[in-house]
Amino acid sequence: MKKKVLYSLRSPYREQLDVIGFRFGHGKKSAAIVGAMRGNEVQQMYVCSRMVQELKKLEAKGLITEDHEIMVIPCINYYSMNIGKRFWAMDNTDINRMFPGYWQGETTQRIADGVFSKIQGYEYGIQLASFYQQGNFLPHVKMMDTGFASPELMKDFGLQFGIIRKPRPYDTTTLNYNWQVWETKAFSVYANATDVIDENAADEAVYAILRFLDKQGIISANTPPGYITKLIAESKTKQLRSEAAGVFKSRIEIGKRVERGDILGTISDPFDGETVSEIRSTVSGTVYFEYFAPLINSNTVCFKIIK
Amino acid sequence: MIETIATAALAVNENLNIQKRRIENGRSKKRLSLVTGTHGDELEGQYLAYIVGSYLDEHIDCLDGIVDIYPALNPMGIDSITRGVPMFDLDMNRVFPGSKDGTMIEMLCSMIVDDISGSDVCVDVHSSNIFLKEIPQIRMSVPTAPALLPYAKMMNVDFIWIHDAATVLESTLAHTLNTRGTKTLVVEMGVGMRITKEYCKQLFGGIFNLLKELGMWSGETTPVREPIVSEGREVGFVNSDAAGIFVPCVSFGETVEKGDHIGDVVDPLSSKTVEKVDAVCDGMIFTLREYPVVYGGSLLARILQPASGGAEK
């Protein structure tokens, strides 16, 4: 393993920002794994740190295949993590909306460019992704449908679901999208939590990434058996939104199968406690996202169901 | 008449309401929409909305048509000094056109678009951010320029910047409305979190001139200035390479020549100048950094090059 500073940025008032990468094996650029780009992505950083541990062990045993190199970047934006902000501490811009970056551009464009130049050219790119809303996801893998790589590859992660997303205009400046433009087969792995550590989901994400690398012949790893992944277009999943606002209580766990008409959660008046809304499933399927916060506004996505 | 054009219930005993004021007179159904407050830290449009509305009230007989004023598309952002939508840290101007069946913000954006669509012209007023000061200008993409440029020239701005289309900007209110046939002009002027009365009054003159050109206003107007149009010109970007405090030594709007000293980045701890900042090209400084703390990459100035060599004095 080689620990390298991939990109540095000086601050007027803080220690220099050093984006650290851990390189395993050598030879062909096979896989790059990127963790936290936002200050609240603690779970994403944690999964990467666990990957560093696993790959260290595999490397020591000679189980990284000859002529394959793997890069792990646990955290790009620890400046924001250290002060409890989500986006770039100075100007609140999102590094994951700045790719492919520009070396003469603004600060976060330069960070994106500095990092992207080091993770370009890998055959596979895996980003530990998060969702902008508070909530828990069933661990799953997602890829943008740019036509570059086959969604079938998602099955090699052995997660329960692989979701295919049609890119929207605002996706065109994300790492995942630009990886694909520069011919890296890119995937987003969702490891349930964001600003807390969920050990079980982290285990599942680590095994999924190891499983994927093993299937591509990059490493030799023994992992618990995975699922037969069901591939589904994001547009075919069902989002249930709150029809009222107030105190939210979920009545279901992610991963559970529900039938049409089942009550998945309730919303009560924050002052008098009266139930103001019952959230019922409009389809039968598996819950793969649940909102997780005590208070909820109206029209908030509170459950996502794979039919 | 004040109307709530979009509403959503918040968790505890409150609704998020997006409101507009409709001012109408006469027989004409022509409609101008004045929209602002998409970014909660941009306040120039607040004063503009006030002076346009109050002048119309005082001279309502001169109006023939409808003026809709939307002062705060992101009321929670303005109220909490937050650029994006506070609950989600989302840039509202990357969520359009929204969706009726989408999340709260997507639904609100969709309702906003539906309400403004059909206006003869929409003026969407922004004011840079807290970091940069801008001369009054209108920005448009190359594909929209043929339809928008004649209207932009009526607006009494100093500069019209026609820029390349970017896919990410397809999520803006202006792109959505222009795509739907509502001519929408994006104004940038001043600086975030402040009101520059001089600029608001300048744009005020432009709005009444536009109303007159649309046949909606028979009252007094003042002559408008001829804007510089960026066609055939390049824009030079001056970014900091060092971290520290930027201290400019030129004035906003000043004309410079390539290599002119325009400021320094200094380090308050070591008392050293860490970067001497020079103009990257000849031209007029139409953007200048207002917020002094900089990182490598922070934008310090934009310079509009003259049309054919040499600085315009």
Task: Please say whether the beta carbons of B142 and B165 come within 8 A.
Answer: yes
**ipTM, 2 decimals?**
0.84
pLDDT 10s digits, B123-134? 999 998 899 999
**What interhelical angle do B44-58 and B197-213 show, nearest 10?**
50
Residues of B in contact with A241 (CB under 8 A): 103
Pick from A86, A172, A297: which is nearest to B87 by CB? A297
**Side-chain half-sphere of B230: how many Cα atoms within 13 Å?**
23
Average pLDDT, chain A: 95
Helix (H), strand (E) at residue A203: helix A199-215
Catalogue the E-assigned strands of chain A: 2-9, 17-26, 28-36, 68-75, 124-129, 135-137, 140-144, 161-165, 185-190, 230-233, 238-241, 246-250, 257-258, 263-268, 275-280, 285-291, 295-296, 301-306
**Which residues, given as ranges, of chain B have pLDDT below 50?**
309-313
Residue ranges per structural domain of chain B: 2-229, 235-304
Task: Please say whether the beta carbons of B260 and B250 come within 8 A.
Answer: yes
Q: Which residue of B has its CA nearest to A170?
A: B168
Contact between chains at B296 and A300 (C-beta distance less than 8 A): no
**A16 in contact with B at a CB cutoff of 8 Å?**
no
DSSP secondary structure of A86-127: SS-TTT---GGGSTT--TTS-HHHHHHHHHHHHHTT-SEEEE
Contact between chains at B295 and A12 (C-beta distance less than 8 A): yes
The SS3 of residue B170 is helix
Q: Smallest CA–CA separation between A246 and chain B, in Å?
A: 4
pLDDT 10s digits, B248-297? 999 999 999 999 999 999 999 999 999 999 999 999 999 999 999 999 99
Residues of B in contact with A133 (CB under 8 A): 88, 103
CA nearest to A35, candidates A210, A206, A244, A256: A206
Share of chain A above pLDDT 70, in %: 100
Residue ranges per structural domain of chain A: 2-233, 237-306
Residues of B in contact with A172 (CB under 8 A): 167-168
Q: How far apart are CA A184 and CA A120, in angstroms?
A: 7
Q: How far apart are CA B184 and CA B151, in angstroms?
A: 9
Pick from A105, A132, A299: which is nearest to B8 by CB? A299
Contact between chains at B171 and A168 (C-beta distance less than 8 A): yes
Residues 71-100 of B with CB under 8 A from A: 83-84, 87-90, 94
- At residue B313, the pLDDT reads 38
Q: Which residue of B has its CA nearest to A270?
A: B12
Pick from A12, A104, A295: which is nearest to B11 by CB? A295
Q: What is the mean pLDDT of residues A131-135?
A: 80
Helix (H), strand (E) at residue B301: strand B299-304
**pLDDT-based confidence at residue A152 (cuts at 50, 70, 90):** very high
Contact between chains at B297 and A298 (C-beta distance less than 8 A): no
**B215 in contact with A at a CB cutoff of 8 Å?**
no
- At residue B31, the pLDDT reads 98
Residue range B235-304, CATH number? 2.40.50.100
**A132 in contact with B at a CB cutoff of 8 Å?**
yes
Chain A interface, best mutation among B103, B107, B129, B237, by max A CB count within 10 A = B103
A28-36 and A68-75 as β-strands: parallel, antiparallel, unpaired? parallel
Same fold, A2-233 and A237-306: no
Give me the sign of the Cα torsion angle A78, A82, A88, A91. negative
Instruction: Report whether the peptide linkage leading into residue B306 is cis, meaning its omega lies within 30 degrees of zero.
Output: no
- At residue A301, the pLDDT reads 92
Residues of B in contact with A270 (CB under 8 A): 11-13
Of residues A147 and B167, more confidence is placed in A147
Contact between chains at A169 and B237 (C-beta distance less than 8 A): no
- At residue A137, the pLDDT reads 85
Pick from B9, B87, B245: which is nearest to A244 by CB? B9
Q: How far apart are CA A132 and CA A79, in angstroms?
A: 19
Q: How far apart are CA A221 and CA A58, in angstroms?
A: 8
Residues of A in contact with B89 (CB under 8 A): 86-87, 92, 132
Chain B interface, best mutation among A37, A104, A107, by max B CB count within 10 A = A107
Q: What is the mean pLDDT of residues A215-227?
A: 96
Range scoring the smallest mean pLDDT among A76-85, A249-258, B2-11, B166-175: B166-175
CATH architecture designation of domain B2-229: 3-Layer(aba) Sandwich (3.40)
**Helix ranges, chain B (H):** 44-58, 75-79, 104-116, 145-152, 173-179, 197-213
Q: Which residue of B has its CA nearest to A102?
A: B297
In CATH, A237-306 is 3.30.710.10: no
Token pair, residue A43, equals 């779970």
Chain A interface, best mutation among B41, B80, B91, B104, by max A CB count within 10 A = B104
Give the class (CATH, top level) of A2-233: alpha beta
Chain A interface, best mutation among B295, B299, B300, B302, by max A CB count within 10 A = B295
Q: What is the mean pLDDT of residues A165-175?
A: 92
